[in-house]
Chains A and B, each alone.
Chain A
Amino acid sequence: MALLKVSFDQKRRVKLAQGLWLLNWLAVLAGTVVFGLGLFLKVELRKRSDVMGNSESHLVPNSLIGVGVLSCAVHALAGKVCYDALDPAKYAKWKPWLRPYLAACVLLQAALLLAALCCLLLRGSLEGALALGLRQGLRFYRDTDTPGRCYMKKTIDLLQIEFRCCGNNGFRDWFEIQWISNRYLDFSSKEVKDRIKSNVDGRYLVDGVPFSCCNPNSPRPCIQYQLTNNSAHYSYDHQTEELNLWVRGCRAALLSYYSSLMNSMGAVTLLVWLFDVTATTGLRYLHTALESVSNPEDPECESEGWLLEKSVPETWKAFLESLKKLGKSNQVEAEGADAGQAPEAG
């Protein structure tokens, strides 16, 4: 008993082929969109690879790019097949390839679904890379004279300005590292000497933050230094002051940015997947409808299209049988070769 049988007369077959031709070319467009999305995500990840420790995984954008390109190619071919389906002479040359081609289509849809799920679920590795990268970035902030790290100050400053964040988890991260280079410290000053002596590692730690942490929405000019000392500034209470600096940490800011990016890409990829599944199903119906045309000389006759010739369990059994037969036929050939050699040797 065939699965989801639908009967087609000549007109419906023609309409199906024409509709499928259009659908497949729209699917090519959709594939291009997925490719574009993958490329965009890859570029965005590369732009900020400095603060991700250069160790971020590019699995998601690469999979989107690959699936997008494959989808374009497969659906362009399907469009050509649908166009030729209306002409029996041209269709005859495609006939033997359609079965494996449909199998490839099904595999592609599975890959597309997998890519969409990757987009929506693979966030954990990004968080780890960000935590590591930002911690390092903050440590190298002062090394503007060290080759290989001299760009880190600029990167972190521009990051904090653009994403409206401060530090790794908050602005207090800046209190724990020395972010002012020794080159600009006046070592003859008593204050500097006291601070350096006050901790084991001999670092110059301040309760201050760089200018890029400042929040322009604050009604007062930015307070960057002596943040925990209420008496250092007029009418200032560091416990209740919220608008002076950006409150969010850069890890949370970047994570939310990339999450929303990947969520929307995952949603778009799911829609494209649904569209592609429709196109593949239509192609299968067209294939079976044209196969089951009983009288090839009479193009006007009715025919039936279906998804699977037998029901699902029977089809699965038949598939396993054919696999076993394939294995057995190899065995028989091998035995035949041995038997052939044995009489010769004997």
Chain B
Amino acid sequence: MAPVLPLALPLQPRIRLAQGLWLLSWVLALAGGLTLLCSGHLLVQLLHLRTFLAPSCPFTALPQVALAAGAVALCTGLAGAGASRASLDAAQYPPWRRVLGPLLVAGTAGGGGLLVLALALALALPGSLDTGLEEGLGAAMAHYKDTEVPGHCHAKRLLDELQLRHHCCGRHGFKDWFGVQWVSSRYLDPNDQEVVDRIQSNVEGLYLTDGVPFSCCNPHSPRPCLQDRLSDPHAHPLFDPRQPNLNLWAQGCHGVLLGHLQGLASTLGSLLAVTFLLQTPVLLGLRYLQTALEGLGGVIDGAGETQGYLLPGGLRHRLRTAWLQGGAAHRPAPGEAPAEEAPPGGDPPEA
């Protein structure tokens, strides 16, 4: 039975293949390193924002899988560079002969699998950010006043810092603050009639005001920040709440954070795609190089014609007999790599 996808590789094309592979492997290592950095950055950002993402949001899985995929791609690139460099030098090749087979299996199954998984996550998960942020921000705003409740005492500081750093106010706008009690009851005077009126004016007994915290203030405004009585057009001179103005940050934190995280996720996704497109030819090239050199018996400088192939001839027959015998005698070839790649089966040809 003929080997799968054979390719004649005399000396010159073999050398060209090794040289091209060396260059491509370094580019793959670079792409793997960049993916590693980008996923690390996204992981750090998510760590800072974990208060504002609902715990049930699966988005944090993306940078973790991408981190692993990037690490494997980096190692594959470095190994590929080393192997292709060694294949040009007769003295350096023998130690690589033994390692190359398992390396290719790990690179395809492990690296390829992780990359495909990470790509799938990068496409599917950003959609779940919307609800995650909605819930998380809503919970943070509700707990803004709970500066003395253990477990939520940091909500105020974190939300203030978020609004100051990202230049946003509320979930979708500053009016979100009108519907939440953000002043702790500890600092409300129970004897003040105005306070009592406000608390009695709504069903849940919350102290609601038409004011916002200081972190919503926009420094670009020409007038000192107006934070309270925002719905009353007569409360402040020259201020009409119906007119657009620079007094507070106009955008809501939901939109800002969503854009920020989705941007990072799409960058990561493109890097993963580029890494995948680089890893496939590197692995294929390494497989062809390996099988071609095995055909020469490991002698690098042999000028004889030799053939490289993806899968050895007779593999299907061997697999069938192994399957019929129950597969107990020897381990079946680990050909469980994803279907879209032609899996270079893990059997290193016998020397």
Interface residues of A (CB under 8 A from B): 144-145, 150, 153-154, 157-158, 161, 179-181, 183-186, 210-212, 214, 216-217, 219-222, 224, 233-235
Chain B interface: which size bin? 20 to 34
Whole-angstrom CA separation of A210 from B157 in the bound complex: 19
Whole-angstrom CA separation of A181 from B221 in the bound complex: 12
Question: Known contacts being A216-B160, A234-B187, is A222 close to B223, with CB within 8 Å?
Answer: no
Which chain B residue lies CB-closest to A214?
A: B214
Whole-angstrom CA separation of A141 from B225 in the bound complex: 13
For B189, what are the chain A residues with a Cβ–Cβ distance below 8 Å? 234-235
Which chain B residue lies CB-closest to A208?
A: B224
In contact, A210 and B213 (Cβ under 8 angstroms): no
26 contacts between A and B (CB under 8 A): A144-B223, A145-B222, A150-B222, A153-B219, A153-B222, A179-B224, A184-B236, A184-B237, A185-B237, A210-B225, A211-B217, A212-B219, A216-B160, A216-B161, A216-B215, A219-B147, A219-B186, A220-B187, A221-B182, A221-B183, A221-B184, A221-B213, A234-B187, A234-B188, A234-B192, A235-B187
Interface residues of B (CB under 8 A from A): 147-148, 153, 156-157, 160-161, 164, 182-184, 186-189, 192, 213-215, 217, 219-220, 222-225, 227, 236-238
Most B CB atoms within 10 A — which of A154, A181, A233, A234? A234
Whole-angstrom CA separation of A224 from B212 in the bound complex: 13
Our pick among A179, A183, A211, A219 for the contact of B214 (Cβ within 8 Å) is A211
Question: Known contacts being A211-B217, A220-B187, A221-B213, is A144 close to B237, with CB within 8 Å?
Answer: no
Whole-angstrom CA separation of A179 from B224 in the bound complex: 8
**Smallest Cβ distance from A165 to chain B, in angstroms?**
14
For B217, what are the chain A residues with a Cβ–Cβ distance below 8 Å? 211-212
**Smallest Cβ distance from A177 to chain B, in angstroms?**
13
For A222, what are the chain B residues with a Cβ–Cβ distance below 8 Å? 213-214
In contact, B156 and A216 (Cβ under 8 angstroms): yes
In contact, A184 and B224 (Cβ under 8 angstroms): yes
For A221, what are the chain B residues with a Cβ–Cβ distance below 8 Å? 182-184, 187, 213-214
Whole-angstrom CA separation of A153 from B220 in the bound complex: 8
Whole-angstrom CA separation of A221 from B220 in the bound complex: 22
**Smallest Cβ distance from B311 to chain A, in angstroms?**
49
Whole-angstrom CA separation of A43 from B141 in the bound complex: 38
**Smallest Cβ distance from A186 to chain B, in angstroms?**
4
